[in-house]
Structure 1
Amino acid sequence: MSRLDHSSDDSSVDSRAEDIGQDSKLEFSEDEETLITRMFKLVGERWSLIAGRIPGRTAEEIEKYWTSRYSTSED
């Protein structure tokens, strides 16, 4: 049973590690940034299509990257 108790502890560690991993995934390489920019010019805000060209990236990550980098505030 100690193994079961240990695995429940692992789940909280896993969720924290996942949160940290999500932040680090928002760092894109220069090649990825170039590809995202080129694809955006071609297909617009079709994030899933763009993400399909970058292994290991999700549409949500691509969109979050784009909006954080290129959004304009219209206050």
Structure 2
Amino acid sequence: MADSQHSTSADTVVDSEEENIQSKLQFSEDEEMLIIIMFNLVGERWSLIAGRIPGRTAEEIEKYWNSRHSTSE
């Protein structure tokens, strides 16, 4: 039947969320440099850093930082 050709709304939501998470954690070189510079100036004050990068939230920047600069080394 035609059911196999249709995706459910739940599948669409999951795919959309995965794409959204991946795109949010992709930062441009300019954003990366700004995050590094700001981190050196203000430390882990993610909301201050996010205020300098349009379209980014403090949570996104913190996740990005923690994924790139692990302190467990």
User: TM-score band, normalised by the shorter chain?
Assistant: 0.7 to 0.9
Quick check: which one's helix share is greater? 1
Looking at structure 2, the residues matched to 22 and 65 of structure 1 have their Cα atoms a distance apart, in angstroms, of 11
Indicate yes or no: 2:10 matched with 1:28. no
Looking at structure 2, the residues matched to 66 and 29 of structure 1 have their Cα atoms a distance apart, in angstroms, of 13
Name 2:56's counterpart in structure 1: 57
Deviation at 1:31? Answer: 0.2
Q: When the two structures are superposed, what TM-score results if normalisation uses the length of structure 1?
A: 0.75
Give runs of ≥4 in structure 1 deviating > 6 Å.
none
Structure 2: gaps of 5 or more residues:
1-7
Deviation at 1:19? Answer: 2.8
Q: When the two structures are superposed, what TM-score results if normalisation uses the length of structure 2?
A: 0.77
Deviation at 1:15? Answer: 4.9
Q: How many residues align?
A: 65
Using the aligned pairs only, state the percent identity: 69
Q: Give runs of aligned pairs for residues 1-75 of structure 1, distance below 5 A.
A: 10=9, 12=10, 13-73=12-72
Report the aligned-residue RMSD. 1.5
Structure 1: gaps of 5 or more residues:
1-8
